Chain A
Amino acid sequence: MWQIFHKLGSPKWFFGISTRFMPWLLVGGIMLLLAGAVWGLAFAPKDYLQGNSYRIIYIHVPAAFLAQSVYIMMASAAIVTLVWRMKLADVFVKAVAPVGLVLTFLALFTGAVWGKPTWGTWWIWDARLTSMLILLFLYGGVIALDRAINDEKSAARAVAVLVLVGVVNIPIIKYSVEWWNTLHQPATFKLTEKPSMPAEMWVPLLLSVLGLYLVFGWLACVRMQTEILSREQRTRWVKEFVMKGRV
Chain B
Amino acid sequence: MNAEARPAVRLASSSVGALAAMKGVFARDMKVAFRQRQDLLNPLLFFIMVVTLFPLGVSPEVSFLSEAGAGILWVAALLSVLLSLDHLFRHDFDDGTLEQLVLQPQPLFLLILAKTVAHWMLTGLPLVVLTPVLGVMVHLDGNSIAILCLTLLIGTPVLSLIGAIGAALTLGLRSAGVLLSLLIIPLYIPVLIFGTGTVAAAAEGAPVGAYLALMGAFLMLALTLAPFAAAAALRISLSNG
- Residue A177 contacts which of B162, B193, B218 (CB distance < 8 angstroms)? B193
Bound together, the chains give a CA A173 to CA B190 distance in angstroms of 5
Asked if A17 CB lies within 8 Å of chain B CBs, one says no
Given A137-B182, A165-B187, A166-B187, A149-B200 contact (CB < 8 Å): no
Q: List 24 A-B residue pairs with CB atoms under 8 Å apart, sorted by A's residue number.
A: A82-B232, A134-B189, A137-B182, A137-B186, A140-B182, A141-B183, A144-B182, A149-B240, A154-B236, A154-B237, A154-B239, A158-B236, A161-B236, A162-B169, A162-B183, A165-B162, A166-B186, A169-B186, A175-B190, A176-B189, A176-B190, A177-B189, A179-B193, A180-B193
Which of B18-26, B59-67, B140-148, B170-178 contacts the other chain?
B170-178
Do B233 and A158 have beta carbons less than 8 Å apart? yes
**A145 neighbours in B (Cβ, 8 Å):** 169-170, 179, 183
Chain A minimum-CB-distance residue to B226: A165
Given A144-B182, A162-B183, A164-B229, A151-B190 contact (CB < 8 Å): no
Asked if A172 CB lies within 8 Å of chain B CBs, one says yes
Do B236 and A141 have beta carbons less than 8 Å apart? no
Asked if B185 CB lies within 8 Å of chain A CBs, one says yes
Chain B minimum-CB-distance residue to A180: B193
Given A137-B185, A161-B232, A169-B179 contact (CB < 8 Å): no
Do B169 and A161 have beta carbons less than 8 Å apart? yes
Given A141-B182, A149-B240, A158-B237, A168-B170 contact (CB < 8 Å): no
Chain A minimum-CB-distance residue to B201: A183
Residues of A169-215 whose CB lies within 8 A of B: 169, 172-173, 175-177, 179-180, 183
Do B200 and A183 have beta carbons less than 8 Å apart? yes
Asked if B165 CB lies within 8 Å of chain A CBs, one says yes
**B236 neighbours in A (Cβ, 8 Å):** 154, 157-158, 161
Asked if B216 CB lies within 8 Å of chain A CBs, one says no
Query: Within the complex, what minimum Cβ distance (angstroms) separates A145 from chain B?
Result: 6
**A137 neighbours in B (Cβ, 8 Å):** 182, 185-186
**B232 neighbours in A (Cβ, 8 Å):** 82, 161
Do A169 and B187 have beta carbons less than 8 Å apart? yes
- A-side residues, CB < 8 A to B, are 82, 134, 137-138, 140-141, 144-145, 148-149, 151, 154, 157-158, 161-162, 164-166, 168-169, 172-173, 175-177, 179-180, 183
Bound together, the chains give a CA A168 to CA B187 distance in angstroms of 10
Closest 9 A/B residue pairs (Cβ): A154-B240, A176-B190, A137-B186, A141-B183, A180-B193, A176-B193, A157-B236, A148-B173, A172-B190
Query: Within the complex, what minimum Cβ distance (angstroms) separates A172 from chain B?
Result: 5
Bound together, the chains give a CA A1 to CA B232 distance in angstroms of 28
Q: Which of A140, A164, A180 has the most CB of B within 10 A?
A: A180
Bound together, the chains give a CA A161 to CA B168 distance in angstroms of 11
Asked if B225 CB lies within 8 Å of chain A CBs, one says yes
Bound together, the chains give a CA A49 to CA B181 distance in angstroms of 42
Bound together, the chains give a CA A154 to CA B168 distance in angstroms of 13
Query: Within the complex, what minimum Cβ distance (angstroms) separates A157 from chain B?
Result: 5
Query: Within the complex, what minimum Cβ distance (angstroms) separates B194 from chain A?
Result: 6
The contact string, 1 if C-beta is below 8 Å from chain A, for chain B 153-166, is 00000000010010
Chain A minimum-CB-distance residue to B218: A172
**B200 neighbours in A (Cβ, 8 Å):** 183
Query: Within the complex, what minimum Cβ distance (angstroms) separates A104 from chain B?
Result: 12
**A179 neighbours in B (Cβ, 8 Å):** 193-194, 197
Query: Within the complex, what minimum Cβ distance (angstroms) separates B97 from chain A?
Result: 21
Chain B minimum-CB-distance residue to A154: B240
Do A180 and B170 have beta carbons less than 8 Å apart? no
Do A148 and B186 have beta carbons less than 8 Å apart? no
Query: Within the complex, what minimum Cβ distance (angstroms) separates B75 from chain A?
Result: 14
**B194 neighbours in A (Cβ, 8 Å):** 176, 179
Given A145-B183, A151-B240, A158-B169 contact (CB < 8 Å): yes
